[in-house]
Amino acid sequence: MEQDEEKIRTIVKIANQTYTVIGKESSDHVREASELVDAKMKQLRESNPYLTSTQLAVLAALNISNEYVSLKRQQENETKDEDGTT
């Protein structure tokens, strides 16, 4: 049986809830990601104060995913341009 890589445990706070995240990424990486989610949820809460925490979390995930897909497409297009591919 293969030995798993050592997991890193990081405690973060998102929308006033504390979470323990266990994974391979550094604590700094996990904190940066959690701060992004927390900021997005706060932003959405300000413009939509009646949404539940679950609704805020889904909207934050959708917003962040949209940003990710846009950046991914932009990077793919830049790679195609550099390669001279159309």
pLDDT at position 77 is: 93
pLDDT of residue 58: 97
Using 70 as the pLDDT threshold, list the residues of the chain that sit under it. 1-4, 85-86
Count of C-beta atoms within a 10 Å radius of residue 45 = 16
Residues 6+ apart with CB under 8 A from 15: 38, 41, 42, 45, 53, 56, 57
- Residue 72, pLDDT score: 96
* Cβ 40 vs Cβ 61: under 8 Å: no
- Answer whether 0.75 is exceeded by the pTM: yes
Write down the pLDDT at residue 50. 96
